Structure 1
Amino acid sequence: MNLNEWFAKGLTYEQYKENMTVNREEMETIYQDFSLKTEETSLLQKVAQQQLNVIVITEDWCGDALLNNPILMKIAEAGKMDVRFILRDQNLELMDQYLTNGTARSIPIFIFINQAGEEVAVWGPRAPKVQEMVDKMKSSLPPSDSPDFKEKQSALFKQIKDLYVNDASLRDIVSDSILEKLKEKVL
């Protein structure tokens, strides 16, 4: 299946939100609270001339998706990009073409395509600075065979999710990272 066919198969943002069973409220909070800077909007007017579409490989349970997807939507609106959401677990054929480090089905993945369906840029699953933060936080976990590993891992994931929802500086980090990728690959 080519990328235009995947795009056509995807859900709109509204359809994706309607089907969400977790993280919807948090995602919508981030969407409502985040806005682009004037210079970012100017850059995205240039991106709009490229008439890009975006395929998002995601799942509603993903903490990174609850942070990154609403930011992408603001970028897409300013850049006049049409976005479609593909659920990872039902579409491993596509997901497996975009593995993180060649092995991990990490999400979300944003695939920017031109009108011919050609990939022009790929971003995800995390902004590098957010990845550093998460790696540092994970380094405090006990070994995976430790009796309290699951409990501590669960608490850490809750802490990360809380940061994603409440730390507005992370939104700018994500936005900057996506925009850098677009500048590098599109402009």
Structure 2
Amino acid sequence: MDLNSWFEKGMMWGEYVDSMTRNKEEMISIYERFALTSEDKSRLESLRAQKLRAIVLTEDWCGDALLNNPILMRIAEAAAIELRFVLRDQNLELMDQYLTNGTSRAIPIYIFIDQEGNEVGVWGPRAPEVQALVMERRAELPDKDAEDFQEKQMAIYKELVTSYQNDAAIWKTVSNSIMNTLLK
């Protein structure tokens, strides 16, 4: 299937939000509290004429999607980018074309396309600075064979998701990273 077909298959923002069974309130909370600066909006204005679209590979259980999707939505509003949300687990054929490091089905992945369906940029699953933060936190974990590995891993993920939900600096980092991909 070509990218235009994948785009047409996807859900609009409202449909996606309505379908969510996990992280819905948390994601909406970020959406409601995050705002682009006037400077960001001015920079994104130049994209409006391109009439870009984006395929958003995501799942509602994903902590990174909880952080990134509402920020992408604000960017899309400012740049007039039409979004379609495609669930990763039901669309592995597309996901497997956008593996992280060639092996990982990490999400979200944003595939930006033009009106003809040509790929013009790909972003995800994390801003580089957020990836560095996650790796730094993972480095604190005991060996995977350790009795308390699972418990400590869950504690770290919980702390990260709390940061994702409340740290405006992280939101700005994500926003800048997505905009850098779009404004290349």
Q: Give CA-to-partner distance per residue, 1:74-95, whole Å, 9 cap, x none.
A: 0000000100000000000000
Q: Give, in angstroms, the shift of residue 183 of structure 1.
A: 1.3
Q: Give, in angstroms, the shift of residue 43 of structure 1.
A: 1.2
Q: Give CA-to-partner distance per residue, 1:80-134, whole Å, 9 cap, x none.
A: 0100000000000000000000000000000000000000000000000011111
Counting only pairs closer than 5 Å after superposition, residues 1-187 of structure 1 correspond to structure 2 as 1-184=1-184
Q: Give CA-to-partner distance per residue, 1:139-166, whole Å, 9 cap, x none.
A: 0001111111111111111111001001
Q: Give, in angstroms, the shift of residue 44 of structure 1.
A: 1.1
TM-score, structure 2 as length reference: 0.99
Q: Give, in angstroms, the shift of residue 168 of structure 1.
A: 1.1
| Partners of 1:51 and 1:166 in 2: CA distance | 32
Give % identity.
Answer: 57
| Partners of 2:181 and 2:6 in 1: CA distance | 22
Other structure's SS at 1:60 match: coil
Q: Give, in angstroms, the shift of residue 72 of structure 1.
A: 0.2
| Partners of 1:97 and 1:181 in 2: CA distance | 19
| Partners of 2:145 and 2:92 in 1: CA distance | 29
Query: How many residues align structurally?
Result: 184
| Partners of 1:118 and 1:175 in 2: CA distance | 23
The one-letter amino acid paired with 1:140 is E
Other structure's SS at 2:110 match: strand
Moved over 4 A (4+): none
Q: Which runs of 5+ in 1 are unaligned?
A: none
| Partners of 1:156 and 1:19 in 2: CA distance | 28
| Partners of 1:151 and 1:19 in 2: CA distance | 30
The one-letter amino acid paired with 2:97 is Q
| Partners of 1:156 and 1:24 in 2: CA distance | 21
| Partners of 2:20 and 2:27 in 1: CA distance | 10
Q: Give, in angstroms, the shift of residue 8 of structure 1.
A: 0.3
